[in-house]
Amino acid sequence: MSRIASVLLPMPLPEAFDYAEPEGMELVVGDQVAAPLGPRLLRGVVVALREGAGGNRPLKALDSKLDSPPLPPGAIEFVQWAARYSVDAPGQPLAIAIRGARAPKAKPHKLLEATGVTPARATPARQKVLEAAAGGPQTPADLARAAGVSAGVVKGLVEEGALALRLVEEPAAFPEPDLARAGHALNASQAAAAQALQAMVAEGGFNVALLDGVTGSGKTEVYLEAVAAALAKDPAAQVLVMLPEIALTQAVIARFVERFGVEPAEWHSDVAPPMRRRTWDAVATGAARIVIGARSALFLPFTHLSLIVVDEEHDGSYKQDEGFIYQARDLSVMRGKIEGAGVILASATPSLETLRNAETGRYRWLKLTSRHGTAQLPDITLIDLKATPPPSGRWLSPPLVDAMGQTLAAGEQTLLFLNRRGYAPLVLCKACGEKLTSPDTDSWLVEHRYSGRLVCHLTGFSMPKPDKCPHCGAKDSLTSIGPGVERVEEEARHLFPDARIAVFSSDTVWDAKEARRLVDAMADGEIDILVATQAAAKGHNFPKLTLVGVVDADLGLRGGDLRAAERTYQLLAQATGRAGRRDRPGRALLQTYAPEHSVMQALKAQDRDAFVEAEMAEREIMKLPPFGRLGAIVVSGPDAAALEAFAREMAKVAPNAEGVEVYGPADAPLALVRGRRRKRFLVRADRNVDLSAYLATWRARVRPPGAIRVAIDVDPYSFL
């Protein structure tokens, strides 16, 4: 009797589908198969097998077993757990997990080799080709080049059978790391932390450690020793290092090459599909032992995952807000638990959730309190913009401009930090006051002078900047409000015309290669003033950078985000920490309209503990994370009245549970996106409440009409 295979499909379906296993297919759990669904064949993963006894209807048979490595048991368990935790269909994380397996393979190389057949017509040119071919298989172009003949001569020998064509797939180039290479000399604090991590690795099993070190303290060198220990302990061990930004990957890869003599596998959006396929296969077969990647690398099919490192663990980029919604930092801890692997969370400004786990003893807490070598933390000064404002139409205050002049005169570098892309965040009409927004969206259009376009950073819509107001028709009435990095660069060029100035943002740096070029230019002293968003505010080491100027330190404090103060402190501490990382003293100037704010005072005093204590106390009173849990439900639809009615109906069926509070429905701050109206619920729960189960129960009580969508976000980071 044939067996029944439960197959999970990469679609928003609530459960796996049952199929009949054809005779002789001999499936195992984890195999990838072609499964019929309606008129289509879909790639799926076998998650269970059972004997086919009884049943009230015949099952469709699977079409074939695919030629791809199976998904390991740990990866399947993780996918299913992640779906339950995020209150989503298991096919959603599965789609991430098998994305690499669905990528196209690299085209095979065409190689020619001699067959021993003598051509009917021997010529000197043909003889040269056959002599060159005696050295082994070569591409047609290489063979023609080596013999000094035209491609037609080579083609003629192929047609006569004197040369044979072979298609050869390029093998995956993931050589074994050289564990005999020595790492950098560590200071006493680093050595103590490295020894603690090595002991954790030697102990084996699931453990979590927080590597908490000030900027420039050498955290990477410390966790490299833990990586070396994990690889040395087990010849099959695999290590995952996650980074929040593609811009950081090349610098970290260089550190790994220096330490282990080989390049690790890369996994992020800039990796070409054929290379992504090779990397996925190499991870699944155990050939790739070190992987460096973005948040989605957490879903790769590791067979012997022994250590996970989450670098800059506090970074908001680890939160995925669209499609399958998840927080990679939190999920990395669960992946470590499932795999029995160690987890290292590294940061100079850890998240409050991680700090709370360290304080209560759930995580080991390793501290690096000083910078490596002779480097010192920068001096931080607050510039009160009420007392010393910039000139009209300018954005850089006199104290900051003076400091930039002094830095240039000393042959040193300046970083001007503003976490706002483009030229201006708002364009409005001076005649009628109309604010230009994206069509069918409440999001403002951002002016980009480089491209001459207005861009919506939420939806991706863009248009040329019009010469008249689309609302009232007034000509030449559109004016730019506020600064972006392009506008700050324009001002810096006006003030310092001889300085070498560059902009570092996602609009000027399109891929990892370009990011590496710009970072290398800055590190080599080829740039005097770098105007940058958060892309340059973390993880980079610029030896000659001694001045950081924060153009708008208050930017992140605006709005109703409960993590606003925490994120502002983290971002500005990271940005100012770029200064003075070698033997030159550094300083940072923060322009602010609220110098008395607790965040600004904590930054000035470089007293993280005081800030954390005050923020923790406020969160504890309100029972907000890390002392409580949050969940968000966003309902959206094209018709405002229908959406309002559904949201009210949904509110009526919210489960009653002790320790749970429900707020809403209320209009989302961005109440219109891509033509869809949006309403939000916010759920606050005590720590002992299974928030995922509560949200799943609530959603099961409603059946949204076809045009209305329901999205659930466990532990939301965005409140728009």
pLDDT for res 98: 96
How far is 519 from 516, CA to CA, in rounded Å? 5
Residue 539 pLDDT > 80, yes or no? no
Q: Mean pLDDT across the stretch 185-204? A: 95
pLDDT in tens, 266-288: 999 888 899 999 999 999 999 99
β-pairing verdict for 529-532 and 545-550 = unpaired
How far is 233 from 223, CA to CA, in rounded Å? 15
- Inside any domain, residue 178: no
Structural element, H or E, at residue 309: strand 305-311
Place of tokens 């393979």: 105
How far is 380 from 548, CA to CA, in rounded Å? 9
Which range marks the domain in which residue 475 is found? 427-480
Q: Mean pLDDT across the stretch 581-593? A: 88
Q: Are residues 471 and 494 in the same domain?
A: no
Q: Are residues 487 and 475 in the same domain?
A: no
Q: Mean pLDDT across the stretch 516-520? A: 86
Q: Are residues 555 and 590 in the same domain?
A: yes
C-beta separation of 526 from 552 below 8 A: no
pLDDT for res 172: 63
Q: Mean pLDDT across the stretch 161-172? A: 80
pLDDT in tens, 465-487: 999 999 899 998 999 999 999 99
Residue 560 pLDDT > 70, yes or no? no
Cα dihedral sign, 398-403-406-407: negative
How far is 224 from 307, CA to CA, in rounded Å? 11
Q: Mean pLDDT across the stretch 144-152? A: 90
pLDDT for res 372: 67
Q: Are residues 489 and 612 in the same domain?
A: yes
Residue 386 burial class via C-beta count within 10 angstroms: exposed 0-12, middle 13-18, buried 19 and up = exposed
Number of domains in the chain: 6
Question: DSSP for 375-441?
Answer: --PPEEEEEETTTSPPPTT--S-HHHHHHHHHHHHTT-EEEEE----SSBSEEEETTT-PBPB-TTS
Share of the chain above pLDDT 90, in %: 72
β-pairing verdict for 660-673 and 676-686 = antiparallel
Check which CATH number belongs to the domain holding 499 and give it. 3.40.50.300
Q: C-alpha distances in angstroms, 102 versus 97, 167, 238, 282, 324?
A: 10, 22, 22, 14, 18
- Inside any domain, residue 373: no
Residue 171 burial class via C-beta count within 10 angstroms: exposed 0-12, middle 13-18, buried 19 and up = exposed
Q: Are residues 82 and 195 in the same domain?
A: no
pLDDT for res 375: 63
Residue 381 pLDDT > 90, yes or no? yes
Q: Are residues 231 and 314 in the same domain?
A: yes
Check which CATH number belongs to the domain holding 39 and give it. 3.40.1440.60
- Inside any domain, residue 550: yes
- Inside any domain, residue 183: no
Residue 168 pLDDT > 90, yes or no? no
Question: DSSP for 220-288?
Answer: HHHHHHHHHHHHHH-TT-EEEEE-S-HHHHHHHHHHHHHHHSSPPEEESTTS-HHHHHHHHHHHHHT--
Between 54-58, 318-322, 613-617, the lowest mean confidence (pLDDT) is in 54-58
C-beta separation of 536 from 586 below 8 A: no
How far is 32 from 537, CA to CA, in rounded Å? 42
How far is 502 from 529, CA to CA, in rounded Å? 7
Give the chain's largest Cα–Cα span.
Answer: 93
Q: Are residues 476 and 547 in the same domain?
A: no
Q: Are residues 359 and 407 in the same domain?
A: no
Does residue 561 sit in helix, strand or coil? coil
Separation of first and last alpha carbons in the chain: 55
Residue 273 burial class via C-beta count within 10 angstroms: exposed 0-12, middle 13-18, buried 19 and up = middle
Specify the amino acid at residue 648.
Answer: R
Angle between helix 151-159 and helix 140-147 axes, rounded to 10 deg: 120
pLDDT in tens, 494-515: 999 999 999 998 887 777 778 8
pLDDT band at 248 (very low <50, low <70, confident <90, very high): confident
What the block records as the tokens of 508 is: 């000027």
pLDDT for res 1: 53
Q: Are residues 195 and 318 in the same domain?
A: yes
How far is 450 from 486, CA to CA, in rounded Å? 8
How far is 267 from 257, CA to CA, in rounded Å? 16
- Inside any domain, residue 685: yes
- Inside any domain, residue 694: yes
How far is 519 from 539, CA to CA, in rounded Å? 11
SS3 of 429-481? ECCCCCECECCCCCCECEEECCCCEEECCCCCCEEECCCECCCCCCECCEEEE
- Inside any domain, residue 176: no
- Inside any domain, residue 195: yes
pLDDT band at 54 (very low <50, low <70, confident <90, very high): low
pLDDT band at 56 (very low <50, low <70, confident <90, very high): low
Q: Are residues 404 and 514 in the same domain?
A: yes
Q: Which of 641, 656, 635, 640 lies closest to 703 in space, CA to CA?
A: 635
Share of the chain above pLDDT 70, in %: 98
Q: Are residues 212 and 275 in the same domain?
A: yes
Q: Are residues 476 and 492 in the same domain?
A: no
**Could you count the other beta carbons within 10 Å of the beta carbon of residue 622?**
11
How far is 594 from 554, CA to CA, in rounded Å? 7
Residue 559 pLDDT > 70, yes or no? no
pLDDT in tens, 672-700: 998 999 999 999 999 999 999 999 999 99
